[in-house]
Amino acid sequence: MASQIYIAELRLQEKLLTDYLGSGERLSVLQIAKLSREILRLRSEINFYEKLRAGHLDINSKNIKKEKFFVKNIILSTI
C-alpha cells in the first residue's frame, strides 16, 4: 500500500510540473531545462517502482544496476 501511495505522489509531482511547463508562463531556458530534467527523473522513478512492485525486477539482479545507469544517462543527456 505504501508503494502505491509513493507512486501516486510521484505521478502528482510529475503532472504538476508538466502542467506548469505547458502553462504558457514565461520561463528562462535554464528553468525549462531544470523542469524537464526533473520531469524525466520523476518518470524514470515511477517506471522503476512500478516495475519493482509488479515483480519484473529482482532487487539483487543486474537489471537494477542497468536500469539506474540508463536513468542516469537520460538525466545527464538533458543537462
The string of DSSP letters for 24-47 reads -----HHHHHHHHHHHHHHHHHHH
Here the cell at position 34 is: 531544470
Q: Where does the pLDDT of residue 79 fall: very low under 50, low under 70, confident under 90, or very high at 90 and above?
A: very low
Rounded to the nearest integer, the mean pLDDT of the chain is 78
Cβ proximity of 33 and 79 under 8 Å: yes
Cell numbers placing 59: 532487487
Number of domains in the chain: 1
State percent of the chain over pLDDT 90: 29
Query: CA-to-CA distance for 2 and 8, rounded, in angstroms?
Result: 10
**Residue 76: its pLDDT value, please?**
54
Domain encompassing residue 37: 2-77
Ramachandran angles phi, psi of 60, nearest 5°: -95, 5
